[in-house]
Amino acid sequence: MFKKNLEKIQYFKAGKSGLAVICIAIITMSALLLSSALMLSSCGLNLKRFEDTRDKMGTYVNIAIFSSEKDYQEILDGGFVKIDELSKIASNYDPESSISFLNKNGFIEDAPAELVEMMNLSIEYNKKTNGAFDITIEPVLKLWAEGLWKESEEVQMQKIGEALALVGSDMIKIDGKNISYEKKGMEATLGGIAKGYIVDRVMDFIKSRGVKSALVNAGGDIATMGSKPGGEKWQVSLENPDNPEEKIVSFNLTGEAVATSGNYHRYFDPDKEVHHIIDPKTGYSANLCISATVIAENATIADILATSVFVLGPDEGIKLVEKLDGVEALIIDPDRNIIKSSGIDKYIVK
């Protein structure tokens, strides 16, 4: 069922168009472990591999570390506790979360530092991506989730136009720990940043416990720390949608992060024509890519830019990536063409 020593981002076919869509699948090193950790000896060093996989953030999260037998369980448990703590701040699905409070009231005072940081980063990358990344798209997402796809084209355009008047990260005001919206009815979603951000905070916790080699995979938002004992790099693979035994490409990572955005199995409509990645400029699903994979220095940036590049499409997406230090991308367009940034080959397994 699972293959050894390989973390995978798996592609498969779906939808009546027959185009490839993406399903992010967590593939652990040997078996899916729900409550116990797997141990592997490593190159004569006094380190073993321990890992655990749990259902978190609406997906499966796998944490793998190389550590001593003494405190591995405490480290793994602590990583998952960190996910729960931050989800209470960033989850749009938790009515008691900090982001839900902000959306309901239009302001939040003395906001958690993590929320302030995510909001500031979101505003920063809204500017860097020329609006392709915009967390204030939530009113439009709600329209589609509530059945906008059932309406006529005329009604869709009218309702989207009204909702787009509430979209704009420049209308978020941050004053110290206080956050507010300029317009009544504005809401934000942290779906394009929170998972990557939480992965990074989990990795920070693991590092603070003295671990020097680790991988955290939250449904395809993957961060790595160092290399495996003995120098072996962490490997992440993209599979061919037509042949699961064939990989499109594999990446070697030693401390970098990778994330993929795609028009995979999250659709608003039963005909799978309206997917969840919405272009903030149009209010409709972005359609210039099948997938966008980004490698960056951390999972937060990889998460943000994977969404941004997907919205921008191959041409503008690659132009954006080429302007940013420490960022590379691989895009698959609707015709199955693969477009790569200039420096991504250094990560690709030859």
CATH code, domain carrying 121: 1.10.3980.10
Whole-number pLDDT of residue 242: 55
Q: How confident is the model at residue 32 (pLDDT cuts 50, 70, 90)?
A: very low
Residue 224 domain-assigned?
no
What is the reported pTM? 0.85
In the chain, the number of structural domains is 1
Is a pLDDT exceeding 80 seen at residue 201? Answer: yes
Q: How confident is the model at residue 330 (pLDDT cuts 50, 70, 90)?
A: very high
Radius of gyration of the chain (CA): 20
17-26, 74-83, 326-335: least confidently modelled range? 17-26
Whole-number pLDDT of residue 150: 72
Which residue from 330, 349, 347, 348 is spatially nearest to 339, judged by alpha carbons? Answer: 330
Tokens read off for 48: 């073993």
User: 29 by DSSP, 3-state: which?
Assistant: coil
Whole-number pLDDT of residue 124: 98
- pLDDT tens across 130-151, in order? 999 999 999 999 998 887 767 7
CA contacts within 13 A on the Cβ side of 119:
31
Whole-number pLDDT of residue 147: 77
Average pLDDT, rounded, for the chain: 85
Q: How confident is the model at residue 2 (pLDDT cuts 50, 70, 90)?
A: very low
- In total, the chain counts a number of residues equal to 350
How is 304-347 classified by DSSP, letter by letter?
HHHHHHHHHHHHHHHHHHHHSTT-EEEEE-TT--EEE-TTGGGT
Residue 151 domain-assigned?
yes
pLDDT (average), residues 89-104: 97
Tokens read off for 20: 């490839």
d(CA 210, CA 226): 12
pLDDT (average), residues 86-95: 96
Residue 157 sits in which domain range? Answer: 98-181
Whole-number pLDDT of residue 237: 84
Residue 207 domain-assigned?
no
pLDDT (average), residues 4-13: 34
Q: Which residue has the higher pLDDT, 7 or 285?
A: 285
Between the alpha carbon of residue 173 and those of residues 97, 108, 133, 179, 187, the distances in Å are 19, 11, 17, 6, 13
Cα 65-66-67 angle, rounded to 5 deg: 105
How is 246-310 classified by DSSP, letter by letter?
EEEEEEEESS-EEEEEES-S-BSSTTS-SBS-B-TTTSSB--S-SEEEEEESSHHHHHHHHHHHH
Residue 214 domain-assigned?
no
Residue 346 domain-assigned?
no
pLDDT (average), residues 221-249: 83
Give residue 176's region: left, alpha or beta (phi > 0; psi -120 to 50): left
- pLDDT tens across 37-87, in order? 334 343 435 789 999 999 999 899 999 999 988 889 999 999 999 999 999
Residue 250 domain-assigned?
no
d(CA 210, CA 198): 19
Cα 323-326-331 angle, rounded to 5 deg: 70
Residue 172 domain-assigned?
yes
Residue 155 domain-assigned?
yes
